[in-house]
Amino acid sequence: MPDSLPIIDVAGLRAADPAARHAVATELGAACRGAGFFLVTGHGIPEAVTQGLFGAARALFALPDAAKQAVSIRRSPHNRGYVGLSEEQLDPTKPADRKEAFNVGLDLAADDPEVLAQKPFRGVNLWPEGAPELRSAILAHFDAAWALGRLLHRGFALDLGIEEDFFEDKLDRPLATLRLLHYPAGGGTDAALGAGEHTDYGNVTVLATDGVAGLEVKRRAGGWEEVPQVPGAFVCNIGDCLMRWTNDVYVSTPHRVRAPAAERYSAAFFLDPNPETVVAVLPGCTGTGNPARYPPVTGADYLRQKLDATYAHRRAPAG
Ligand SMILES: O=C(O)CCC(=O)C(=O)O
Ligand SMILES: [Fe+2]
């Protein structure tokens, strides 16, 4: 892995000129095969949207505990809602994570046919009462990060030598989660991390941070590399699902968050495919002596396995 993560301007992916699109795709492909992490500029997400998101995150985490517990993730079978401080332990060998989180999924209406049919992960979002402005600010960023995630997939497809729009209809009702994160001040004095070492589960993660450092990427040779703060850029990384889809051609790299001395906010958008999409190793990623390493699985089964392995509250009855 190189010592510094690549910064990739992805505006060219929107160009009419195929050569411009291919040039960006080649850069993306190199990053996905190498570090598995890259910084993205030229993403087209207005700064006002990101500012609005962080304003909403600050207001949300500042609510009284009772208001946050009223929308606890324990009340949602669909991986939505609030996760309290130290309720999660991404690395089981370390103390619980020093963070609180709030998960938002695809914003479906209560009478959406898939919600009524109780399809897996198809539920309504939980919103704190009396704060309607939070919902619109958070959903504006959800939509913007989703669009960026789909744009990146056009680049991945070009790099992988498949149809440029291969992923389009596999990401149009995705199992996506926008996770707001708040790492309180005062970390760094003990062994607790903000978030323990883990890999992400989906295809790609689009991360916005408030400029406070803390995220570290595991080097293949050992040790940790701090992700630099580049104003206006998003940090993107490949998740386990795209690693599987590409037969390990793209790499899902472990990372962690130090418990920062100063308070830190971030927002991770995890883009997983549609629930019924079959994730089967792509034809161009196998060859003689390199068979498919994974059997096909649906997006919903895949995510369920991953979440059940991580979160005790999904296995045990809510307490
Ligand atoms: O807060 C961050 O910088 C990264 C968080 C993260 O890795 C995650 O939530 O999966
Ligand atoms: Fe992560």
Structural contact between residues 265 and 180, judged by C-beta atoms closer than 8 angstroms: yes
Regarding the beta carbon of 178 and ligand 1, being less than 6 Å apart is answered: no
128-154 pLDDT, tens digit each: 987 888 999 999 999 999 999 999 999
- The verdict on residue 27 lying in a domain is yes
The answer to whether residue 285 scores a pLDDT higher than 70 is yes
Structural contact between residues 26 and 221, judged by C-beta atoms closer than 8 angstroms: no
Residue with the bigger pLDDT between 186 and 273: it is 273
**Residue among 82, 74, 142, 138 at smallest CA distance from 106:** 142
- The verdict on residue 319 lying in a domain is no
Number of domains in the chain: 1
- The verdict on residue 318 lying in a domain is no
177-201 pLDDT, tens digit each: 999 999 998 866 667 889 999 999 9
279: domain CATH number? 2.60.120.330
- The verdict on residue 288 lying in a domain is yes
**Mean pLDDT value across residues 193-213:** 95
Share above pLDDT 70 across residues of the chain, in percent, rounded to a whole number? 95
- CA distances to 30, 161, 199 from 36, rounded to whole Å, are 9, 19, 11
The interface pTM score, or ipTM, of the predicted complex is 0.99
CA 86 / ligand 1 centre spacing (Å): 15
Share above pLDDT 90 across residues of the chain, in percent, rounded to a whole number? 81
User: With a threshold of 0.90, does the pTM exceed it?
Assistant: yes
Indicate the pLDDT class of residue 318, thresholds 50, 70 and 90.
very low
Regarding the beta carbon of 179 and ligand 1, being less than 6 Å apart is answered: yes
Beta bridge partners of 130: none
- The verdict on residue 78 lying in a domain is yes
pLDDT of residue 1: 47
**Mean pLDDT value across residues 269-289:** 96
Domain enclosing residue 212, as ranges: 7-313
48-83 pLDDT, tens digit each: 999 999 999 999 999 999 999 999 999 888 899 999
- The verdict on residue 238 lying in a domain is yes
Edge-first strand order for the sheet with 215-218 is 195-198, 255-257, 215-218, 224-226
The answer to whether residue 317 scores a pLDDT higher than 50 is no
Residues near ion ligand 2 (Cβ under 5 Å): 200
Q: Which of 100, 207, 217, 237 to mutate to test the pocket of ligand 1 (most atoms within 8 A of CB)?
A: 207
- The verdict on residue 284 lying in a domain is yes
Q: Which of 181, 197, 210 to mutate to test the pocket of ligand 1 (most atoms within 8 A of CB)?
A: 181
Structural contact between residues 3 and 225, judged by C-beta atoms closer than 8 angstroms: yes
**Mean pLDDT value across residues 9-26:** 98
Can you tell me the distance from the alpha carbon of 275 to that of 152, in angstroms, rounded to the nearest whole number? 20
